[in-house]
């Protein structure tokens, strides 16, 4: 007996590669259509369909054509909308959708903007339920007076594919950075920190920088000035998952001082501790770091970063313990299946997703 799957419309901005596994996993239980304004993303291996519509930006606001007409079609049982108050058609659709449809907002958090927060709370009260990236974000809405029974968590994650228990790898010889080389990552601080500790850690340990971007030439100049040449490796952009995995196997620790994004999840998934500063830029991913358990929060100063790097490089067995904790944390809280379960909970009114409710600091 074939059971008809409910139809989901996802209102999105631009599909990036890391979201495709999420959409495909959601297709295990639903027929998924993603409306977005990016480049064509669906391949023959993907299970979801896409609708690509134009978007016009006026100042900070985005006007996405086709949203309202698609929302009003008598086709969908569930609408999931990425909740960004700057995307005006999404907000309008909350006033116009068929009330037999379950409407779910996704990804909001409280910011420093009083007006934006008022808008977020106004619309959160007018939909069926809301899904948050982190438990902290959910708690902020509860503290702002939103009924917690309609608020769910789908821990934002990155599907690392085949995983390896890097903490058990015999060779541990690198401090690793993975990501785009832009200013907000503050990799210059990482380079100066490495120079500071070079003579305090075993001489075979090197700094590996994987990625490309606007600051690569600037960082290479710093490396030359600091005479790091034989202790640093600029790998460049790397798309080969197997080669990337090999770098994680050798990593003692993964570092991104200024920003803690999805590479937090990648590092934890491979069983490597992650270091960032407490006030790092983050979309919520740094909430997965549990200080001195699966990674470390350093203070916003070079000496603090240097201290943690020195500690881990001189005590590899301790680094392995932290890496093992990272691997098991990802397994419990950060799998794609658990993220999708958070959405299933919001749709079906269950509470099955595993949520970390501890404080992250």
The CATH code of the domain that includes 210 is 3.40.50.2000
Per-residue burial over 17-40, b = 16 or more CB atoms within 10 Å of its CB, e = otherwise: eebbbbbbbbbebbbbbbbbbeee
Domain limits at 71?
7-157+335-348
Question: Are 135 and 215 within one domain?
Answer: no
212 falls within a domain: yes
Tally of domains within the chain: 2
In a domain, residue 358? The reply is no
Q: Is the pLDDT of residue 2 over 70?
A: no
SS3 297: strand
**Which of the four pLDDT bands, split at 50, 70 and 90, describes residue 283?**
confident
Structural domain contains residue 1: no
Same domain, 92 and 215: no
Is 2 within the bounds of a domain? no
Query: Is there a domain that residue 109 lies in?
Result: yes
Q: How far is it, in rounded angstroms, from Cα 156 to Cα 158?
A: 7
Name the band, by pLDDT with cuts 50, 70 and 90, for residue 360.
low
pLDDT interval class at 229 (50, 70, 90): confident
**CA gap 12, 79 in Å, rounded:** 11
| In a shared domain, residues 174 and 307 | yes
| Residue 354 domain flag | no
Give the pLDDT band (50/70/90) at residue 87. very high
In the numeric block, the tokens 């407490």 are attached to: 278
Reference 254, options 236, 275, 271, 239; nearest CA is 275
Supply the pLDDT for residue 303. Answer: 98
Q: Is residue 360 part of a domain?
A: no
Please check whether residues 137 and 173 belong to one and the same domain: no
pLDDT digits (tens, 9 = 90+) for 133-161: 999 999 999 999 999 999 999 999 989 98
Statement to judge: residues 119 and 214 lie in one domain: no
């Amino acid at each position: 007996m074939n059971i008809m799957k409910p139809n989901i419309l996802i209102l999105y901005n631009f599909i990036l590669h890391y979201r495709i596994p999420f959409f495909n996993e959601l297709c295990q239980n639903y027929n998924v259509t993603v409306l977005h304004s990016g480049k064509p993303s669906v391949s023959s291996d993907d299970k979801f369909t896409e609708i690509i519509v134009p978007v016009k930006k006026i100042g900070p606001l985005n006007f996405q054509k086709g949203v309202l007409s698609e929302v009003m079609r008598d086709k969908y049982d569930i609408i999931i909308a990425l909740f960004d108050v700057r995307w005006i058609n999404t907000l309008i659709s909350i006033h116009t959708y068929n009330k037999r449809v379950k409407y779910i907002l996704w990804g909001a958090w409280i910011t420093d903007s009083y007006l934006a927060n008022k808008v977020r709370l106004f619309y959160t009260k007018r939909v069926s339920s809301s899904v948050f990236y982190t438990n902290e974000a959910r708690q902020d809405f509860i503290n702002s007076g939103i009924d917690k029974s309609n608020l769910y968590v789908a821990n934002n994650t990155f599907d690392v594919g085949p995983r390896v228990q890097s903490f058990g790898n015999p060779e541990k010889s690198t401090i690793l950075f993975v990501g785009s080389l832009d200013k907000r990552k503050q990799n210059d601080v990482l380079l100066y920190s490495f120079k500071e500790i070079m003579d305090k850690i075993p001489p075979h340990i090197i700094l590996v920088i994987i990625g490309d971007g606007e600051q690569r030439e600037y960082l290479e100049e710093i490396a030359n000035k600091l005479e790091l040449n034989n202790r640093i490796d600029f790998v460049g952009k790397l798309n080969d998952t197997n080669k990337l995995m090999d770098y994680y196997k050798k990593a003692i620790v993964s570092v991104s001082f200024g920003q803690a994004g999805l590479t937090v999840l990648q590092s934890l998934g491979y069983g490597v501790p992650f270091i960032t500063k407490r006030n790092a830029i983050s979309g919520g991913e740094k909430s997965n770091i549990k200080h001195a358990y699966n990674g470390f929060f350093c203070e916003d100063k070079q000496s603090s970063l240097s201290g943690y790097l020195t500690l881990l490089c001189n005590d590899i067995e301790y680094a392995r313990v932290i890496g093992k904790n990272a691997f098991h944390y990802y397994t419990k809280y950060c799998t794609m299946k658990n993220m999708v379960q958070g959405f299933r909970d919001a749709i079906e009114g269950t509470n099955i997703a595993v949520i970390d409710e501890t404080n992250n600091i």
